[in-house]
């Protein structure tokens, strides 16, 4: 489990804070990826990562708003340091030239990872409100999986093509390729 928390002791406030931090961690990672590889248009891997960062931020804000309504300004007990890679894509996954399709597959893997997290966590939750929240969040992650699968199904064939370095001489090997 990518967290140091004891799920059997989570309060509803803790669970909301945890869920918000999971979305925040994913947003930060997608933003790092988008910044690192850049974007050449609205249909490349960088644009996919930027879009995912926006979506993760939206989920984080929705959860934080819900938490604020229920618990006001009560300081959280759960911290970002308590979790690692719950929904965030793997650090080493992006490549400067990755296709949009590969970026979507990375996002799909992350959404599946989040679904599994909530599914596994539910086995250790006893608090009824926390259980209901985790079931709701697990269902949302399942919807995100379906949404990304639908996007992948609609992508044009060109989305599967890795980018080429515009500065590369066509007679020279591309970055990352091995000369034979």
**Per-residue model confidence (pLDDT) at position 169:** 46
Q: Is residue 170 part of a domain?
A: no
pTM of the model: 0.84
Residue 140 lies in a domain: yes
Instruction: Flag whether 163 is in a domain.
Output: no
- pLDDT tens string 106-144: 999 999 999 999 999 999 998 999 999 999 999 999 999
Q: How many CA atoms lie within 13 A of 63 on its CB side?
A: 24
- Whether residue 175 is contained in a domain is answered as no
Handedness of CA 29, 109, 63, 53 (dihedral sign): positive
Q: Which residues of the chain have pLDDT under 70?
A: 1-2, 165-180
Specify the number of domains making up the chain.
1
Q: Is residue 167 part of a domain?
A: no
Provide the residue range defining the domain that includes 72: 9-158
Residue 146 located in a structural domain: yes
Q: Alpha helices, DSSP H only, in the chain?
A: 12-37, 45-71, 100-121, 128-154
Q: At a CB cut-off of 8 Å and minimum separation 6, what does 127 contact?
A: 10, 11, 12, 15
Does the residue 122 lie in any domain?
yes
For residue 103, what pLDDT is reported? 94
The domain that contains 88 carries what CATH number? 1.20.1260.10
Q: Is residue 69 part of a domain?
A: yes
């Amino acid at each position: 489990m990518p967290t140091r928390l004891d799920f059997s002791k989570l309060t509803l406030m803790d669970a909301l804070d945890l869920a918000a931090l999971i979305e925040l961690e994913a947003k930060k990672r997608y933003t790092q990826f988008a910044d690192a590889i850049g974007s050449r248009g609205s249909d490349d891997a960088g644009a996919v990562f930027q879009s995912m960062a926006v979506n993760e931020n939206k989920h984080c804000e929705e959860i934080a708003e819900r938490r604020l309504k229920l618990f006001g300004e009560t300081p959280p007990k759960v911290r970002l340091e308590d979790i690692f890679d719950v929904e965030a894509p793997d650090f080493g996954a992006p490549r400067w030239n990755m296709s949009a399709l590969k970026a979507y597959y990375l996002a799909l893997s992350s959404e599946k990872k989040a679904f599994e997290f909530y599914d596994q966590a539910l086995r250790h939750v006893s608090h009824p409100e926390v259980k209901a929240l985790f079931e709701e969040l697990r269902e949302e992650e399942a919807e995100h999986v379906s949404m990304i699968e639908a996007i992948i199904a609609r992508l044009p064939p060109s989305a599967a093509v890795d980018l080429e370095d515009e500065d590369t001489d066509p007679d020279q090997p591309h970055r990352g390729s091995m000369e034979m």
